[in-house]
Amino acid sequence: MSVIKIINANSLNWYLKYFGLPLAIGVTMFRLCLQKTNRKRRDALQGKIVVITGASSGIGEALAHVFYEYGCKVVLASRRRTELERVKEELLSKKQLSPTEEPVVCELDLSNLGQLESFVQKIYDTCGKIDILINNGGVSHRGSILHTTMEVDTKIMNTNYFGSVGLTKAVLPRMVEKKSGHVVFISSVQGLIALPDRSAYAASKHAMQAFADSLRSEMFQHNINVSVVSPGYVKTAVSLNALTGSGDSHGVMDKNTAAGFTSEYVAMKILDMVVNKNNELVISQFLPNLAIFLRHSMPSLYFWIMARRANKTN
Ligand SMILES: NC(=O)c1ccc[n+]([C@@H]2O[C@H](COP(=O)([O-])OP(=O)(O)OC[C@H]3O[C@@H](n4cnc5c(N)ncnc54)[C@H](OP(=O)(O)O)[C@@H]3O)[C@@H](O)[C@H]2O)c1
Protein backbone atom coordinates (compact mmCIF):
# COMPACT_ATOMS: atom_id res chain seq x y z
CA MET A 1 0.00 0.00 0.00
CA SER A 2 2.72 2.45 1.08
CA VAL A 3 4.77 1.45 -2.03
CA ILE A 4 1.81 2.44 -4.25
CA LYS A 5 1.53 5.71 -2.37
CA ILE A 6 5.24 6.41 -2.91
CA ILE A 7 4.95 5.56 -6.63
CA ASN A 8 1.88 7.81 -6.99
CA ALA A 9 3.54 10.64 -5.12
CA ASN A 10 6.68 10.21 -7.23
CA SER A 11 4.80 10.12 -10.52
CA LEU A 12 2.78 13.17 -9.48
CA ASN A 13 6.00 15.02 -8.72
CA TRP A 14 7.42 13.88 -12.06
CA TYR A 15 4.36 15.14 -13.95
CA LEU A 16 4.40 18.47 -12.14
CA LYS A 17 8.13 18.94 -12.71
CA TYR A 18 8.42 17.84 -16.34
CA PHE A 19 4.92 18.49 -17.67
CA GLY A 20 2.69 20.63 -15.42
CA LEU A 21 5.19 23.35 -14.60
CA PRO A 22 6.49 23.92 -18.16
CA LEU A 23 2.89 23.88 -19.43
CA ALA A 24 1.79 26.47 -16.85
CA ILE A 25 4.80 28.66 -17.68
CA GLY A 26 4.09 28.29 -21.42
CA VAL A 27 0.42 29.21 -21.07
CA THR A 28 1.25 32.21 -18.85
CA MET A 29 3.90 33.44 -21.32
CA PHE A 30 1.46 33.01 -24.21
CA ARG A 31 -1.24 34.98 -22.36
CA LEU A 32 1.20 37.76 -21.50
CA CYS A 33 2.34 37.99 -25.14
CA LEU A 34 -1.30 38.06 -26.30
CA GLN A 35 -2.15 40.83 -23.82
CA LYS A 36 0.88 42.85 -24.99
CA THR A 37 -0.06 42.40 -28.66
CA ASN A 38 -3.69 43.34 -27.95
CA ARG A 39 -2.58 46.46 -26.03
CA LYS A 40 -0.43 47.51 -29.00
CA ARG A 41 -3.21 46.81 -31.52
CA ARG A 42 -5.74 48.75 -29.43
CA ASP A 43 -3.59 51.86 -29.95
CA ALA A 44 -4.47 51.68 -33.66
CA LEU A 45 -8.08 52.57 -32.70
CA GLN A 46 -7.05 56.15 -31.95
CA GLY A 47 -9.11 58.60 -34.05
CA LYS A 48 -11.39 55.98 -35.63
CA ILE A 49 -15.06 56.85 -36.14
CA VAL A 50 -17.20 54.10 -34.61
CA VAL A 51 -20.97 54.00 -35.08
CA ILE A 52 -22.74 51.94 -32.40
CA THR A 53 -26.46 51.21 -32.71
CA GLY A 54 -28.32 50.42 -29.50
CA ALA A 55 -25.82 52.56 -27.55
CA SER A 56 -28.41 53.69 -24.98
CA SER A 57 -28.08 50.61 -22.77
CA GLY A 58 -26.53 47.19 -22.15
CA ILE A 59 -23.85 45.89 -24.52
CA GLY A 60 -24.04 48.97 -26.80
CA GLU A 61 -23.46 51.33 -23.89
CA ALA A 62 -20.50 49.25 -22.70
CA LEU A 63 -19.09 49.24 -26.25
CA ALA A 64 -19.35 53.03 -26.32
CA HIS A 65 -17.23 53.16 -23.14
CA VAL A 66 -14.45 50.85 -24.31
CA PHE A 67 -14.10 52.33 -27.82
CA TYR A 68 -14.18 55.86 -26.37
CA GLU A 69 -11.52 54.91 -23.80
CA TYR A 70 -9.23 53.78 -26.60
CA GLY A 71 -9.47 57.06 -28.48
CA CYS A 72 -12.36 56.52 -30.91
CA LYS A 73 -14.93 59.13 -31.78
CA VAL A 74 -18.15 57.24 -31.01
CA VAL A 75 -21.50 57.89 -32.65
CA LEU A 76 -24.25 56.82 -30.23
CA ALA A 77 -27.45 55.76 -31.99
CA SER A 78 -30.83 54.49 -30.80
CA ARG A 79 -34.41 55.72 -30.26
CA ARG A 80 -34.13 57.20 -26.75
CA ARG A 81 -32.26 60.49 -27.03
CA THR A 82 -32.30 61.15 -23.26
CA GLU A 83 -30.53 57.85 -22.61
CA LEU A 84 -27.99 58.56 -25.35
CA GLU A 85 -27.32 62.00 -23.81
CA ARG A 86 -26.82 60.30 -20.43
CA VAL A 87 -24.26 57.91 -21.96
CA LYS A 88 -22.51 60.86 -23.65
CA GLU A 89 -22.29 62.77 -20.33
CA GLU A 90 -20.86 59.69 -18.61
CA LEU A 91 -18.23 59.34 -21.34
CA LEU A 92 -17.25 63.01 -21.09
CA SER A 93 -16.83 62.73 -17.31
CA LYS A 94 -14.49 59.76 -17.67
CA LYS A 95 -10.74 59.64 -17.25
CA GLN A 96 -9.52 58.62 -20.70
CA LEU A 97 -6.65 56.40 -21.79
CA SER A 98 -6.17 58.42 -25.01
CA PRO A 99 -7.25 61.88 -26.22
CA THR A 100 -10.65 61.58 -27.89
CA GLU A 101 -13.17 63.72 -29.70
CA GLU A 102 -16.60 64.39 -28.23
CA PRO A 103 -19.19 61.63 -28.79
CA VAL A 104 -22.01 62.32 -31.24
CA VAL A 105 -25.64 61.52 -30.40
CA CYS A 106 -27.93 60.51 -33.25
CA GLU A 107 -31.51 59.32 -32.95
CA LEU A 108 -32.27 56.18 -34.93
CA ASP A 109 -35.20 53.79 -35.19
CA LEU A 110 -33.83 50.69 -36.90
CA SER A 111 -37.33 49.48 -37.76
CA ASN A 112 -37.95 52.65 -39.77
CA LEU A 113 -36.15 51.39 -42.87
CA GLY A 114 -36.81 54.50 -44.95
CA GLN A 115 -34.76 56.61 -42.52
CA LEU A 116 -31.51 54.63 -42.66
CA GLU A 117 -29.87 56.28 -45.70
CA SER A 118 -30.40 59.79 -44.30
CA PHE A 119 -29.10 58.66 -40.89
CA VAL A 120 -25.87 57.47 -42.50
CA GLN A 121 -25.60 60.64 -44.62
CA LYS A 122 -25.93 62.73 -41.44
CA ILE A 123 -22.97 60.90 -39.89
CA TYR A 124 -20.83 61.42 -43.00
CA ASP A 125 -21.77 65.12 -42.96
CA THR A 126 -20.82 65.41 -39.26
CA CYS A 127 -17.82 63.09 -39.01
CA GLY A 128 -16.52 62.81 -42.59
CA LYS A 129 -16.12 59.02 -42.48
CA ILE A 130 -17.17 55.80 -40.78
CA ASP A 131 -14.40 53.33 -39.93
CA ILE A 132 -16.34 50.81 -37.86
CA LEU A 133 -20.08 50.12 -37.90
CA ILE A 134 -21.34 48.05 -34.97
CA ASN A 135 -24.84 46.69 -35.63
CA ASN A 136 -25.82 46.07 -32.03
CA GLY A 137 -29.35 47.48 -31.57
CA GLY A 138 -31.96 44.78 -31.22
CA VAL A 139 -34.98 43.40 -29.46
CA SER A 140 -35.75 39.89 -28.22
CA HIS A 141 -38.95 37.83 -28.25
CA ARG A 142 -40.91 35.77 -25.74
CA GLY A 143 -43.92 33.90 -27.10
CA SER A 144 -44.97 30.77 -28.93
CA ILE A 145 -45.43 30.86 -32.71
CA LEU A 146 -49.14 30.12 -32.26
CA HIS A 147 -49.55 33.22 -30.10
CA THR A 148 -47.26 35.68 -31.89
CA THR A 149 -48.84 38.12 -34.31
CA MET A 150 -47.30 38.81 -37.72
CA GLU A 151 -46.85 42.44 -36.60
CA VAL A 152 -44.46 41.26 -33.90
CA ASP A 153 -42.59 38.97 -36.32
CA THR A 154 -42.23 41.86 -38.76
CA LYS A 155 -41.13 44.36 -36.09
CA ILE A 156 -38.43 42.04 -34.77
CA MET A 157 -37.17 41.16 -38.27
CA ASN A 158 -37.14 44.85 -39.25
CA THR A 159 -35.28 45.95 -36.11
CA ASN A 160 -32.76 43.12 -35.81
CA TYR A 161 -32.22 42.10 -39.41
CA PHE A 162 -33.42 44.59 -42.06
CA GLY A 163 -32.37 47.59 -39.94
CA SER A 164 -28.80 46.29 -39.68
CA VAL A 165 -28.76 45.21 -43.35
CA GLY A 166 -30.03 48.64 -44.44
CA LEU A 167 -27.43 50.51 -42.39
CA THR A 168 -24.67 48.26 -43.67
CA LYS A 169 -25.72 48.76 -47.30
CA ALA A 170 -25.80 52.52 -46.78
CA VAL A 171 -22.27 52.52 -45.36
CA LEU A 172 -20.63 50.00 -47.72
CA PRO A 173 -20.18 52.04 -50.95
CA ARG A 174 -17.94 54.58 -49.18
CA MET A 175 -16.01 51.85 -47.36
CA VAL A 176 -15.46 50.10 -50.71
CA GLU A 177 -14.30 53.36 -52.25
CA LYS A 178 -11.80 53.85 -49.41
CA LYS A 179 -10.84 50.17 -49.47
CA SER A 180 -11.10 49.99 -45.69
CA GLY A 181 -13.68 49.51 -42.98
CA HIS A 182 -15.06 47.03 -40.48
CA VAL A 183 -18.68 45.93 -40.06
CA VAL A 184 -19.57 44.13 -36.83
CA PHE A 185 -22.84 42.29 -36.23
CA ILE A 186 -23.91 41.56 -32.67
CA SER A 187 -25.83 38.36 -33.26
CA SER A 188 -26.45 35.78 -30.52
CA VAL A 189 -25.97 32.09 -29.83
CA GLN A 190 -29.54 32.12 -31.10
CA GLY A 191 -28.07 32.90 -34.51
CA LEU A 192 -26.58 29.39 -34.28
CA ILE A 193 -29.35 27.49 -32.50
CA ALA A 194 -33.07 28.18 -32.10
CA LEU A 195 -35.01 27.87 -28.84
CA PRO A 196 -38.78 27.52 -28.44
CA ASP A 197 -40.67 30.78 -27.68
CA ARG A 198 -37.96 32.87 -29.38
CA SER A 199 -38.85 32.14 -33.03
CA ALA A 200 -38.74 35.71 -34.37
CA TYR A 201 -35.56 36.55 -32.46
CA ALA A 202 -33.73 33.36 -33.47
CA ALA A 203 -34.86 33.78 -37.10
CA SER A 204 -33.60 37.38 -37.20
CA LYS A 205 -30.22 36.38 -35.77
CA HIS A 206 -29.87 33.36 -38.09
CA ALA A 207 -30.59 35.70 -41.01
CA MET A 208 -28.01 38.17 -39.70
CA GLN A 209 -25.40 35.40 -39.43
CA ALA A 210 -26.05 34.27 -43.02
CA PHE A 211 -25.99 37.83 -44.38
CA ALA A 212 -22.69 38.51 -42.60
CA ASP A 213 -21.10 35.31 -43.93
CA SER A 214 -22.03 36.22 -47.52
CA LEU A 215 -20.91 39.81 -46.97
CA ARG A 216 -17.53 38.70 -45.61
CA SER A 217 -16.75 36.70 -48.73
CA GLU A 218 -17.83 39.55 -51.04
CA MET A 219 -15.92 42.21 -49.10
CA PHE A 220 -12.62 40.33 -48.84
CA GLN A 221 -11.45 41.77 -52.18
CA HIS A 222 -12.26 45.30 -50.92
CA ASN A 223 -10.25 44.94 -47.71
CA ILE A 224 -13.35 45.32 -45.53
CA ASN A 225 -13.61 43.16 -42.41
CA VAL A 226 -16.85 41.56 -41.33
CA SER A 227 -17.23 40.09 -37.83
CA VAL A 228 -20.09 38.31 -36.11
CA VAL A 229 -20.37 38.17 -32.33
CA SER A 230 -22.57 35.47 -30.79
CA PRO A 231 -23.04 36.12 -27.07
CA GLY A 232 -24.74 33.71 -24.71
CA TYR A 233 -26.36 35.24 -21.63
CA VAL A 234 -25.35 38.82 -20.83
CA LYS A 235 -26.74 40.73 -17.88
CA THR A 236 -28.69 43.55 -19.61
CA ALA A 237 -32.30 44.68 -20.02
CA VAL A 238 -32.73 42.38 -23.05
CA SER A 239 -35.38 40.13 -21.46
CA LEU A 240 -37.17 43.10 -19.85
CA ASN A 241 -37.44 44.76 -23.29
CA ALA A 242 -38.31 41.57 -25.20
CA LEU A 243 -41.62 41.63 -27.06
CA THR A 244 -44.35 39.15 -26.19
CA GLY A 245 -46.52 37.56 -28.88
CA SER A 246 -48.93 40.49 -28.72
CA GLY A 247 -46.20 43.13 -28.87
CA ASP A 248 -46.12 44.16 -25.18
CA SER A 249 -42.86 44.35 -23.25
CA HIS A 250 -42.06 41.07 -21.51
CA GLY A 251 -40.98 43.06 -18.44
CA VAL A 252 -39.29 40.15 -16.67
CA MET A 253 -35.59 39.77 -15.89
CA ASP A 254 -34.84 36.16 -16.86
CA LYS A 255 -32.84 34.11 -14.35
CA ASN A 256 -30.16 33.16 -16.88
CA THR A 257 -29.81 36.73 -18.14
CA ALA A 258 -29.43 38.03 -14.56
CA ALA A 259 -26.64 35.50 -14.01
CA GLY A 260 -24.97 36.29 -17.36
CA PHE A 261 -21.66 37.92 -18.23
CA THR A 262 -21.34 41.64 -17.54
CA SER A 263 -21.68 43.84 -20.61
CA GLU A 264 -18.29 45.40 -19.75
CA TYR A 265 -16.61 41.98 -20.06
CA VAL A 266 -18.37 41.29 -23.37
CA ALA A 267 -17.51 44.76 -24.73
CA MET A 268 -13.81 44.28 -23.99
CA LYS A 269 -13.85 40.91 -25.79
CA ILE A 270 -15.53 42.57 -28.78
CA LEU A 271 -12.94 45.36 -28.82
CA ASP A 272 -10.14 42.79 -28.98
CA MET A 273 -12.00 40.90 -31.69
CA VAL A 274 -12.12 44.12 -33.72
CA VAL A 275 -8.45 44.99 -33.26
CA ASN A 276 -7.47 41.44 -34.19
CA LYS A 277 -9.85 41.51 -37.19
CA ASN A 278 -11.37 38.14 -36.21
CA ASN A 279 -14.27 36.83 -38.29
CA GLU A 280 -16.31 35.53 -35.39
CA LEU A 281 -16.51 35.40 -31.65
CA VAL A 282 -18.76 33.18 -29.54
CA ILE A 283 -18.85 34.42 -25.93
CA SER A 284 -20.91 31.89 -24.15
CA GLN A 285 -21.50 29.77 -21.07
CA PHE A 286 -21.18 25.97 -20.99
CA LEU A 287 -24.85 25.11 -21.69
CA PRO A 288 -25.34 27.27 -24.81
CA ASN A 289 -21.99 25.96 -26.11
CA LEU A 290 -23.19 22.39 -25.51
CA ALA A 291 -26.47 23.20 -27.28
CA ILE A 292 -24.54 24.50 -30.34
CA PHE A 293 -22.48 21.30 -30.36
CA LEU A 294 -25.57 19.06 -30.08
CA ARG A 295 -27.48 20.98 -32.78
CA HIS A 296 -24.74 20.26 -35.28
CA SER A 297 -23.47 16.86 -34.24
CA MET A 298 -26.57 15.18 -32.72
CA PRO A 299 -29.55 17.09 -34.14
CA SER A 300 -32.15 14.46 -33.13
CA LEU A 301 -31.10 14.69 -29.48
CA TYR A 302 -31.15 18.49 -29.68
CA PHE A 303 -34.68 18.50 -31.19
CA TRP A 304 -35.88 16.09 -28.46
CA ILE A 305 -34.48 18.32 -25.68
CA MET A 306 -36.05 21.43 -27.26
CA ALA A 307 -39.44 19.69 -27.61
CA ARG A 308 -39.34 18.85 -23.89
CA ARG A 309 -38.42 22.47 -23.10
CA ALA A 310 -41.32 23.75 -25.23
CA ASN A 311 -43.69 21.32 -23.51
CA LYS A 312 -42.60 22.56 -20.09
CA THR A 313 -43.23 26.22 -20.84
CA ASN A 314 -46.71 25.64 -22.33
N1 LIG B 1 -28.15 40.36 -23.27
C2 LIG B 1 -28.04 39.17 -23.81
O3 LIG B 1 -28.14 38.14 -23.14
C4 LIG B 1 -27.76 39.06 -25.29
C5 LIG B 1 -27.33 37.83 -25.79
C6 LIG B 1 -27.06 37.69 -27.13
C7 LIG B 1 -27.21 38.77 -27.97
N8 LIG B 1 -27.63 39.97 -27.48
C9 LIG B 1 -27.79 41.08 -28.43
O10 LIG B 1 -27.09 42.21 -27.99
C11 LIG B 1 -27.67 43.38 -28.54
C12 LIG B 1 -27.83 44.44 -27.45
O13 LIG B 1 -28.80 43.99 -26.51
P14 LIG B 1 -28.63 44.19 -24.94
O15 LIG B 1 -28.45 42.85 -24.36
O16 LIG B 1 -27.65 45.23 -24.65
O17 LIG B 1 -30.12 44.63 -24.56
P18 LIG B 1 -30.74 46.08 -24.21
O19 LIG B 1 -30.10 46.63 -22.99
O20 LIG B 1 -32.21 45.89 -24.24
O21 LIG B 1 -30.28 46.98 -25.43
C22 LIG B 1 -30.92 46.98 -26.66
C23 LIG B 1 -30.52 48.23 -27.40
O24 LIG B 1 -31.12 48.20 -28.71
C25 LIG B 1 -31.74 49.44 -28.94
N26 LIG B 1 -32.90 49.27 -29.80
C27 LIG B 1 -33.98 48.47 -29.63
N28 LIG B 1 -34.86 48.65 -30.61
C29 LIG B 1 -34.34 49.60 -31.43
C30 LIG B 1 -34.79 50.24 -32.62
N31 LIG B 1 -35.98 49.95 -33.17
N32 LIG B 1 -34.00 51.16 -33.19
C33 LIG B 1 -32.80 51.49 -32.64
N34 LIG B 1 -32.32 50.92 -31.53
C35 LIG B 1 -33.09 49.99 -30.93
C36 LIG B 1 -32.16 49.97 -27.57
O37 LIG B 1 -32.19 51.39 -27.58
P38 LIG B 1 -33.52 52.30 -27.58
O39 LIG B 1 -34.53 51.63 -26.73
O40 LIG B 1 -33.03 53.60 -27.04
O41 LIG B 1 -33.92 52.39 -29.02
C42 LIG B 1 -31.00 49.49 -26.71
O43 LIG B 1 -29.97 50.44 -26.70
C44 LIG B 1 -29.00 42.95 -29.16
O45 LIG B 1 -28.85 42.85 -30.57
C46 LIG B 1 -29.23 41.58 -28.57
O47 LIG B 1 -29.97 40.76 -29.43
C48 LIG B 1 -27.91 40.14 -26.15
Task: State the pLDDT at residue 97.
Answer: 67
Radius of gyration of the chain (CA): 22
Q: Are 199 and 145 in contact (CB under 8 A)?
A: yes
Question: Which ligand 1 atom sits closest to the C-alpha of 257?
Answer: 3
On whether both 144 and 274 belong to a single domain, the answer is: yes
In the chain, the amino acid numbered 85 is E
Best probe residue, ligand 1, of 59, 86, 184, 235 (max atoms within 8 Å of C-beta): 59
Beta-carbon count within 10 A of 21 CB: 11
Task: State the pLDDT at residue 314.
Answer: 66
Give me ligand 1 centre to Cα 138, in Å.
4
On whether both 105 and 160 belong to a single domain, the answer is: yes
Task: State the pLDDT at residue 31.
Answer: 82
Domain span holding position 22: 1-45
Say how far apart CA 171 and CA 34 lie, in whole Å. 32
**Number of structural domains found in the chain:** 2
On whether both 232 and 118 belong to a single domain, the answer is: yes
Q: Domain for residue 266, yes or no? A: yes
Task: State the pLDDT at residue 7.
Answer: 59
Q: Domain for residue 278, yes or no? A: yes
Q: Domain for residue 204, yes or no? A: yes
Side-chain-side CA neighbours of 287 within 13 Å: the count stands at 5
Best probe residue, ligand 1, of 86, 112, 139 (max atoms within 8 Å of C-beta): 139
On whether both 36 and 165 belong to a single domain, the answer is: no
Report the catalytic residues. 201
On whether both 8 and 156 belong to a single domain, the answer is: no
On whether both 137 and 270 belong to a single domain, the answer is: yes
Question: Which ligand 1 atom sits closest to the C-alpha of 160?
Answer: 45
Say how far apart CA 14 and CA 306 lie, in whole Å. 47
Q: Read off the CATH number of the domain in which 238 is found.
A: 3.40.50.720
Task: State the pLDDT at residue 17.
Answer: 78
Render each residue's pLDDT in the chain as its tens digit; 314 residues: 455 565 577 777 877 778 788 888 888 888 888 888 888 888 899 999 999 999 999 999 999 999 999 999 999 999 999 999 999 999 999 877 677 899 999 999 999 999 999 999 999 999 999 999 999 999 999 999 999 999 999 999 999 999 999 999 999 999 999 999 999 999 999 999 999 999 999 999 999 999 999 999 999 999 999 999 999 999 999 999 999 999 999 999 999 999 999 999 999 999 999 999 999 999 999 999 999 999 999 999 999 999 999 988 76
Among protein residues, the one whose CA lies closest to atom 8 of ligand 1: 188
On whether both 123 and 142 belong to a single domain, the answer is: yes
Q: Are 134 and 76 in contact (CB under 8 A)?
A: no
Q: Domain for residue 68, yes or no? A: yes
On whether both 33 and 107 belong to a single domain, the answer is: no
Lining ligand 1 with CB less than 6 A are 53-54, 56-60, 78-80, 83, 108-111, 136-140, 159, 186, 188, 231, 233-234, 236-238, 241, 257, 260
Give me ligand 1 centre to Cα 142, in Å.
15
Whether this prediction's pTM lies above 0.85 is answered by: yes
Q: Domain for residue 308, yes or no? A: no
Run of H or E residues at 105? strand 104-107
